[in-house]
Chains A and B, each alone.
Chain A
């Protein structure tokens, strides 16, 4: 059966056969880099269109429908528009930080692609502390936001960055605790091991109540960490213009925008990997026939299906809940989610030790 893993193997073997080892490695790295850039661009285009279409669907509108068939080329038009916009650097900004901030945001988003298993045996770097890597690198994002807010010489930017910093670091704790419940159950930090441990059922089904609770907490924390409504205090349009990227225009704004959408994709991919089995098809215990039938659906389809389902849920949140005030937002985390998460981790330990999970 044709698969991503086979494609990677074919390329690897072909390069090994035709080039000296060092050159083959360099060629492979170039291919990895180029495909990461390609994935970035594709995801940006698809997610922006999806956001607009989902918004339209939620509000019973049609949404973009002029450019291309059913508005499918709308994001190309948007990109083209952003490309020909003038990038203004206002007076009095800290030029170095101002220009470096979008780069840092992009680097943080790009580095997060490394440990994600996109399909069966298809992963850039299956490092043994994959989950820890994700939580470590994803916190780099705060630095980009604070750099942008501080350097912009704009009060709205500064306020937005400060709020966003407080929010992201707070919700990182809850996200970390809910990730840990799955680490306890799977007994490994390696992404491939965690996926493999779900071969007889996904953790959300196997892990009893704790896994379910962790999933809900993870979704809330992921929404907050990516600064999306109802937690979009960082760029509350009606009070802060555009928050930390008020002063950005043209391509630098586009880079922030892109990094934001890629982060949404990545947290959803992590959520899908930990709770919904990643590329693992829907398997139920020892139902061999059923499992075999499910294996016919390609693993990449499973992964992207789950991830895009979670992205849809997060977009759904945006049109369902009103925006929280900053004090309510921090209360939700520190009064409710963090204590619940801590109790939850004890519960899951009990479940894991007693072997109550299936």
Chain B
């Protein structure tokens, strides 16, 4: 794939590709960082567990709400509005994923890319207008 020519670097040497995709360090870094996060969290929690001399009484185990014993169940039905937003989000998130590969090549393809994306976004925009019309995007 042809790259866009940049204006030459003013520094003496251009930047090197230190870590290309075939560098063994690359993909492994996800594992390394995950392990680092787990190690950090677990060590911090363990240290505090060893340092702290805790006490326990029935009041401590209660939910931190209003001071009086909590009423009823917590895991109840919540507003349906959240689901509607999640559904519309899903549509637009998938749209966004389709836009990523398009955005990379749009400069090479030129006008056809623009025409195609106008059609694509127009269809999605119709759906968006419909969502507005049925008041899915209005918080009740």
B34 to chain A, nearest CB (A): 5
B25-A121 in contact (CB<8A): no
B6-A200 in contact (CB<8A): yes
B11 in the interface (beta carbon within 8 A): yes
A165 in the interface (beta carbon within 8 A): yes
In the bound complex, what is the Cα–Cα distance between A58 and B117 (angstroms)? Answer: 45
B45-A251 in contact (CB<8A): yes
Which residues of the partner chain B approach A247 to less than 8 Å between Cβ atoms?
63-64
In the bound complex, what is the Cα–Cα distance between A331 and B132 (angstroms)? Answer: 11
B47-A114 in contact (CB<8A): no
B41-A114 in contact (CB<8A): no
B20-A183 in contact (CB<8A): no
B133 in the interface (beta carbon within 8 A): no
Chain B interface category by residue count:
35 or more
Which residues of the partner chain A approach B17 to less than 8 Å between Cβ atoms?
126, 192
Known A-B contacts A114-B30, A126-B19, A192-B17; A83 and B51 likewise in contact (beta carbons under 8 Å): yes
Known A-B contacts A113-B33, A187-B4, A200-B7; A170 and B85 likewise in contact (beta carbons under 8 Å): yes
Which residues of the partner chain A approach B106 to less than 8 Å between Cβ atoms?
184, 187, 349, 352-353
A250 in the interface (beta carbon within 8 A): yes
In the bound complex, what is the Cα–Cα distance between A198 and B92 (angstroms)? Answer: 29
* CB < 8 Å A-B pair total: 253
In the bound complex, what is the Cα–Cα distance between A334 and B65 (angstroms)? Answer: 33
Known A-B contacts A84-B52, A114-B33, A125-B25; A183 and B44 likewise in contact (beta carbons under 8 Å): no
Residues in B55-70 with C-beta less than 8 Å from chain A: 55, 60-65, 70
In the bound complex, what is the Cα–Cα distance between A5 and B24 (angstroms)? Answer: 18
| Contact with A250, one of B15, B34, B48 (Cβ below 8 angstroms) | B48
Closest to B42 in A: A103
Which residues of B does A touch, CB under 8 Å? 3-4, 6-11, 15-21, 24-30, 32-42, 44-45, 47-49, 51-52, 54-55, 60-65, 70, 74-75, 78-79, 81-82, 85-86, 88-89, 92-93, 96, 99-100, 103-108, 110-111, 113-114, 117-118, 121, 125, 128, 137-139
The 8 closest A-B pairs by CB, nearest first: A327-B139, A91-B61, A110-B37, A33-B36, A291-B10, A200-B7, A251-B48, A183-B103
Which residues of A does B touch, CB under 8 Å? 5, 8, 25, 28-29, 32-34, 36-37, 40-41, 82-88, 90-92, 102-103, 106-107, 109-111, 113-114, 120-121, 123-128, 131-132, 150, 152-156, 158-159, 162, 165-166, 169-170, 172-173, 176-177, 180, 183-184, 186-189, 192-193, 196-197, 199-200, 241, 246-247, 250-252, 254-255, 283, 285-286, 288, 291-292, 295, 326-327, 330-331, 334-335, 338-339, 342, 345-346, 349-350, 352-353
